[in-house]
Structure 1
Amino acid sequence: MDVLSEELSQARARGAVFSILDRRAPWGLGFSGGRALTAHVLLRGAGLIEVPGIPALDLAAGDVVLVTAGTPYTLVSAPGVPVEPIGEARMRGSDEPAVHDARILCGAYRMEGGLSEAFLATLPRVVVLRSGELEPAHRVLVEVMATEADSGEDGRQSILDRILDLILVYSLRTWWGRPDSQCPGWYRGLADPLLAPALRAIHRDPGAAHTVDALAGIVGLSRAAFAARFRTMVGEPPGRYLTVLRMRRAADALTRGEASLATIAAGVGYANEYAFSTAFRRIYGVSPGRWRRRRVTEAD
């Protein structure tokens, strides 16, 4: 099972290209910082990303930047240049004439599922991936994106959206591969050939009756050895990990659908609503019904 793809699917990460802008220097773009996750790709030229509290970071052509929600920030050609809000920049479009100093792509991801908060918590405010450290296929995607951005062909928007989705997957793999990065516990666990089969079994069907003994049997370890190895690699005991995963899946179901509590409870492995509600309250601090009402209110 491809756990990374499943996690992104559950979080409903979908790319939405919202600007491809050609600019002559000096140029500056301002962003509210309110989006859950934004990607910037400098398709041509050079610039800086300026985020309060973080030293300005130089950007070169082919670099990929991920920015999580927070304070407003800017992309600029040089320090101190005038900054145009991205909304106004999108309405104005690209600079004329056709020769420009920079081409900047900015895309937002809609991370609306119950897993999104835990997913985004593994990322710092700003991730900069230099062109030279990208996987070969990742660099090719950036080049294809630059080519497609110049295309006037039908389907251009859909192609760019899909490429942006792929760039997120490659970016996460590159970032989480760094020794100093904070990657999810399941990602570390999947790198362990002894733990990987058990983790895939859990994610394939969180509602199944996964006991520690059964999971240990899958990987051929004793109960004690499996539990100790799991806690060291993943960061929490297997029982706790399973419960949290079940509750995140349940929270996602509560947010995006009208299924009854009994149906959701059964889907994540609980025989009755009472046991499910107790587990849910332990993780989220409120009952499933209140969680659903709160999310519906927030959506309105």
Structure 2
Amino acid sequence: MDVLAGLLDGPRARGAFLLRMVMEPPWSVRVEDRAPLCLMSVTRGEAWIVPEGGTEPVRLRPGDIAVARGPAPYTVAHTPDAAPRARIGPGGTCTTLHGQPLAESLRLGVRTWGNAPDGATAVLVGTYLLDGEISRRLLDALPSLLTLRADDSGGPLLSLLDAEIARDEPAQSVVLDRLLDLLLIAVLRAWFARPGARAPAWYRAMGDPVVGRALRLLQNAPAHPWTVASLAARAGVSRAGLARRFTELVGEPPMAYLTGWRLALAADLLREGDDTVESVARAVGYGGSFAFSAAFKRVRGQSPQEYRNGNRAR
């Protein structure tokens, strides 16, 4: 499993919040849901996204895709200077700016929401409500708002998502989650592959025949008792050659990367599951809970149990 796959693994890819927003001007929605990732695409008309903090507004036309990275708020509107008329809070709650509920009054059908059934603008919205330590490596590499124009985005997938989003069939939520996953993967691949892109070092290194193989070995079998020598043997190069090339391309030595990967996996297991600390430790390659707890606390500043309790309380 690589970091891009890790973003969409487990509960992070289940139960995503999906809807079609249909609006007739004037309209403006303030988004303060603190979601880690939200994908938006205009299918009719146009919309403006106005990020927080003075960043230039972005105009979306049909086929364009934007990905907003939380938790910073932003506004989606018919013009960049429109005053917000509604607020989206955590969990997708919709209210006026004074807190009165709006969800029922703006409901237009299955997964369809807005102020006019035949409004001039339609926007597909897909929001990932949970994130984890694995996905954080990817999210931290993204700008607060990225956009792809229609020619560079996932056209066929957009059409499929648009056709499916208002259907109410058995297992429809699973179909929509998978379509959203595929669309997000296509968008991120296109974003990192564009000319002049500043993809993170680990992403670029995946394309190297030696370091890419070493990365996949570490990611797919984190519990294996890896050494630089055993990793180099599997990659078909010398120990010194792998250590030097890995550090140059990834930005840290192989064993440091492995430690970070193991602890990220462990953090997600602690957050999402009920396995004991001992079981989590062995699942990610530690001989027991004592060594694992010491490493976890050294990196994260709290014990595994404190981390689990804190996340569940939130």
TM over 0.5: yes
**In 2, Cα distance between equivalents of 1:263 and 1:82:** 52
Q: Deviations over 1:229-286 (max 9, x none)?
A: 1111112110100000011111112112222222222111122222212211222122
**In 1, Cα distance between equivalents of 2:223 and 2:295:** 13
Q: Once the 2 structures are TM-superposed, how far is the Cα of residue 179 of structure 1 from its aligned partner?
A: 4.9
* Equivalent of residue 107 in structure 2, options 83, 93, 99: 93
User: Measured at CA, do residues 260 and 97 of structure 1 come closer, stay the same or move farther in structure 2, by a change above 3 Å?
Assistant: closer
Is 1:115 the counterpart of 2:116? The answer is no
Structure with bigger helix share is 1
| Aligned-pair Cα RMSD in Å | 2.4
Q: Once the 2 structures are TM-superposed, how far is the Cα of residue 207 of structure 1 from its aligned partner?
A: 0.8
Aligned residue in 2 for 1:126 = 145
Aligned residue in 1 for 2:300 = 284
TM-score normalised over the length of structure 1: 0.88
**In 1, Cα distance between equivalents of 2:283 and 2:167:** 45
Gapped runs of 5+ residues in structure 1? none
Residues 255-294 of structure 1: pairs in structure 2 closer than 5 A: 255-294=271-310
The SS at the match of 1:22 is strand
Is 1:4 the counterpart of 2:1? The answer is no
Aligned residue in 1 for 2:164 = 148
The SS at the match of 2:241 is helix
Residues 1-300 of structure 1: pairs in structure 2 closer than 5 A: 4-9=4-9, 12-14=12-14, 16-52=16-52, 53-85=54-86, 86=88, 87-88=94-95, 90-91=103-104, 92-94=106-108, 99-134=118-153, 138-149=154-165, 151=167, 156-298=172-314
User: Measured at CA, do residues 44 and 149 of structure 1 come closer, stay the same or move farther in structure 2, by a change above 3 Å?
Assistant: farther
Which stretch shows the higher mean deviation, 35-44 or 71-80?
71-80
Runs of 4+ aligned residues of structure 1 deviating over 6 Å after TM superposition are none
Question: Are the counterparts in 1 of residues 30 and 73 from structure 2 also a CA contact under 8 Å?
Answer: yes
Paired residue type of 2:208: D
Paired residue type of 1:27: W
**In 2, Cα distance between equivalents of 1:218 and 1:116:** 27
**In 1, Cα distance between equivalents of 2:303 and 2:145:** 34
Gapped runs of 5+ residues in structure 2? 89-93, 96-101, 109-113
**In 2, Cα distance between equivalents of 1:7 and 1:18:** 17
Q: Once the 2 structures are TM-superposed, how far is the Cα of residue 121 of structure 1 from its aligned partner?
A: 1.0
Question: Are the counterparts in 2 of residues 114 and 255 from structure 1 also a CA contact under 8 Å?
Answer: no
User: Measured at CA, do residues 295 and 198 of structure 1 come closer, stay the same or move farther in structure 2, by a change above 3 Å?
Assistant: same
Which stretch shows the higher mean deviation, 64-73 or 12-21?
12-21
Q: Once the 2 structures are TM-superposed, how far is the Cα of residue 228 of structure 1 from its aligned partner?
A: 1.2
**In 1, Cα distance between equivalents of 2:6 and 2:141:** 17
**In 1, Cα distance between equivalents of 2:116 and 2:299:** 56
**In 2, Cα distance between equivalents of 1:210 and 1:81:** 56
Which stretch shows the higher mean deviation, 89-98 or 99-108?
89-98
Count of matched residue positions in the alignment of Structure 1 and Structure 2:
295
Q: Deviations over 1:207-242 (max 9, x none)?
A: 101110111111221111111111111121101000
Question: Are the counterparts in 1 of residues 8 and 181 from structure 2 also a CA contact under 8 Å?
Answer: no
Aligned residue in 1 for 2:111 = none
Q: Once the 2 structures are TM-superposed, how far is the Cα of residue 81 of structure 1 from its aligned partner?
A: 2.8
**In 1, Cα distance between equivalents of 2:6 and 2:167:** 32
